[in-house]
């Protein structure tokens, strides 16, 4: 599953709540054997928005492989048993990639490694999101 964080038609939290309810009912191990949720920052309903919005969901991505195409990643998971640990999303204009970022399995997020362009997925890794701490 995927959902854009900028979706104005369907609240993203509804998809997260559904995902969490499946985990609660089935347990992480069983649900994780067939289900992943990828949240797409800056992406509207299905596509569009300022974020990298091409990852094989509606349009053929720049690179047609399981690392860049969510549909091919799902196919590989079903046929070869290799679950997707990330999918690279791109933002394209005029046939050129402007930005790429990894989409990580929820609740992980793409964390910047600290060097290199923030428009290049190679400079990010999937990390567990840290809770925001209140200042004392």
Sorted by where each begins, the domain ranges of the chain are 2-128
Instruction: Give pLDDT, residue 102.
Output: 98
Q: Which residue has the tokens 């047609």?
A: 64
Query: Rounded to whole angstroms, what are the CA distances from 11 to 14, 54, 84?
Result: 6, 20, 24
Mean per-residue pLDDT pooled into runs of 10, the chain (136 residues) = 95 96 96 96 93 85 84 95 96 91 96 96 90 51
Instruction: Give pLDDT, residue 56.
Output: 87
Are 112 and 123 spatial neighbours (Cβ–Cβ below 8 Å)?
yes
Backbone angle region of 27, left / alpha / beta, with phi > 0 → left and psi within -120 to 50 → alpha: left
């Amino acid at each position: 599953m995927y959902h854009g964080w900028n979706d104005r038609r369907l609240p993203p939290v509804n998809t997260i709540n559904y995902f969490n309810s499946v985990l609660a009912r089935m347990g992480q191990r069983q649900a994780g054997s067939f289900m992943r949720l990828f949240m797409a920052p800056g992406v509207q309903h299905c596509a569009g928005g300022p974020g990298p919005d091409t990852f094989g969901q509606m349009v053929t991505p720049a690179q047609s492989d399981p690392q860049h195409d969510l549909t091919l990643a799902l196919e590989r998971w079903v046929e070869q048993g290799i679950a997707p640990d990330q999918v690279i999303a791109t933002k394209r204009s005029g046939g050129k990639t402007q930005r790429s970022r990894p989409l990580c399995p929820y609740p992980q997020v793409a964390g910047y490694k600290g060097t290199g362009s923030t428009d290049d997925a190679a400079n990010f890794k999937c990390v567990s999101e840290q809770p925001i701490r209140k200042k004392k």
